[in-house]
Amino acid sequence: MEPSAPLAIRVPAPRDVGATSTIIEIEDFNFSYGAKQALFDVNLKLDARRVTAFIGPSGCGKTTLLRCLNRMNDLIDGTVINGGRIRIHGVDINGPEVDAIELRKRVGMVFQKSNPFPKSIYENVIYGLRIQGVGSKSRLDEIVEKSLRGAALWDEVKDRLHESGVGLSGGQQQRLCIARAIAVQPEVILMDEPCSALDPIATAKVEELIHDLKKDYTIIIVTHSMQQAARVSDKTAFFYLGRLVEYDDTQTIFMNPANPQTEAYVSGRFG
């Protein structure tokens, strides 16, 4: 995929139409930071092994919803779910018998700003396995190679696996974080503006990677770049002021949106 087409929104190519199955169901979901409500009655069904993009103006709640999917918001004081539920494979992830730690092993996350640990590349990749108690050297070696290849980073770092991960370039760091996330073999990978700090070439690499990862993972990506959403996603959800405005095939959202707000946003008239 070429990194160009900087100005016009390229019409997405028709997607392969395989059978899709729903993996995540969000029903009437409401969420507040203390007294401030950030999400209102969100209803959304996300497909397995597809890329879904969340778009919308700043502050509309994209990150909030994304972080609800692996309960990262539990770590913030005073957050409340005031209505609705999120199910993954039919299981309510906020249910009393759900362990957030187990959930996060199934639902990985890549952050906006790349955040490798101040450890070697090797240790960064296997961190998730180490904490699960995997000790076998040969198995770890194997996973490191597989994950780095999966994140299209292997060739660039294979000779310096034991150097610090912090010494990589921004784009390499972000791919290292993706490798770290896929090393624990999650089912879902959440990406919050993964390319916002990257140059066009690094962005193209990550987008290509997302395209490849789709075969094995369900990917949800938050982005501010219309082009990126158009290039990488199968479906797109448009949010505005904490509400889901429109959710449809990416092609439909960009070419033929039902809602005038969506139309205005994707054509760049506000946002």
Partner 1 sequence: MSVPPPAKAPAFAIHRRRTRILGLSLDQCIQAFFGGHALTAVIVLTLITVFLFKEGIDFFGQNRENLRIYRQSGMEYVDVLRELERDHTSLTRYLYDIRLRALQHLTGPGGRSLPEANAALADLDALVERFGDAVVPIRGFVSDYGEVAVGIKTRFIENQDFAEAKRQYLAAGMVAEAEAITVAPIDFKAEVAAITGAFPEFEAGGRDLAREVASTVQQLPALPTPELQHRLERFQQLAREYAASIDGRLEQMRTWQWDRPVPATQAFTAFIFGRQWLTASFWQDWYGIVPLFVGSLMVSAIALSLAVPLGIGAAIYVNQFASRREQQLIKPTIEFISAIPSVVLGFFGIAVLGQALRALSQAEWLAWVPGFPFAERLNALTAGCLLALIAVPTIFTLAEDALNNVPRAFREASYALGASRLQTILRIIVPASLSGIISAVLLGLGRVIGETMVVLLCAGNRIAIPDFTQGLTAFVQPVHTMTGIIAQEMGEVVRGSIHYRALFVVGIVLFFVALLINFLAQKIVRRHRISIG
Ligand X SMILES: Nc1ncnc2c1ncn2[C@@H]1O[C@H](COP(=O)(O)OP(=O)(O)OP(=O)(O)O)[C@@H](O)[C@H]1O
Q: Which of residues 12-71 bind partner 1 (CB under 8 A)?
A: 70
Cα 80 → chain centroid: 22
Query: Using CB under 5 A, which of 32, 52, 63, 218 touches Mg ion?
Result: 63
Q: Are strands 51-55 and 218-222 parallel, antiparallel or unpaired?
A: parallel
Contact 68, 54 (CB under 8 A): no
Question: What string marks each residue from 205 to 234 as x (binds Mg ion by CB under 5 A) or -?
Answer: ------------------------------
Q: How far is the CB of 250 from Mg ion (least distance, A)?
A: 20
Element (H, E) at 237: strand 235-240
Query: Two tokens at 187?
Result: 């089912």
Helix (H) or strand (E) holding 222: strand 218-222
108 belongs to the binding site for partner 1 (CB under 8 A): yes
**Would you count residue 58 as binding ligand X (CB under 6 A)?**
yes
Closest listed residue to residue 210, CA positions, set 175, 185, 172, 170: 175
Report, in Å, the least distance between residue 26 CB and ligand X: 14
Please name the amino acid found at residue 61: G
Residues 124-153 that bind partner 1 (CB under 8 A): 127-128, 130-132
Amino acid at 56: G
DSSP state of 90: T
Q: How far is the CB of 117 from Mg ion (least distance, A)?
A: 22
Given 23, 52, 53, 62, the residue binding ligand X (CB under 6 A): 62
20-49 residues in contact with ligand X (CB under 6 A) are 33, 36, 38
Q: How many helices (H) and strands (E) does the chain have?
A: 10, 11
Contact between 73 and Mg ion (CB under 5 A)?
Answer: no
Angstrom distance (rounded) from CA 262 to CA 268: 10
Kindly write out the interface string for residues 82-101 of this chain, putting x where it contacts partner 1 by CB under 8 A and - elsewhere.
-------------------x
Taking the least distance from each CB to partner 1, the nearer of 208 and 216 is 216
Of the candidate spans 146-154, 173-181, 238-246, 248-256, the one that interacts with partner 1 by CB under 8 A turns out to be 173-181
Quick one: residue 149, left, alpha or beta (phi over 0 = left, psi -120 to 50 = alpha)? Answer: alpha
63 binds ligand X (CB under 6 A): yes
CA distance 54 to 63: 9
HSE-CB at 42 with a 13 A cutoff on CA atoms is 37
Select from 104, 146, 211, 214 the one that contacts partner 1 (CB under 8 A).
Answer: 104
Which positions touch partner 1 (CB under 8 A)?
A: 70, 72, 75, 77, 101-102, 104-105, 108-109, 111, 113, 115-118, 127-128, 130-132, 177, 180-181, 184
Which positions touch ligand X (CB under 6 A)?
A: 33, 36, 38, 56, 58-64, 76
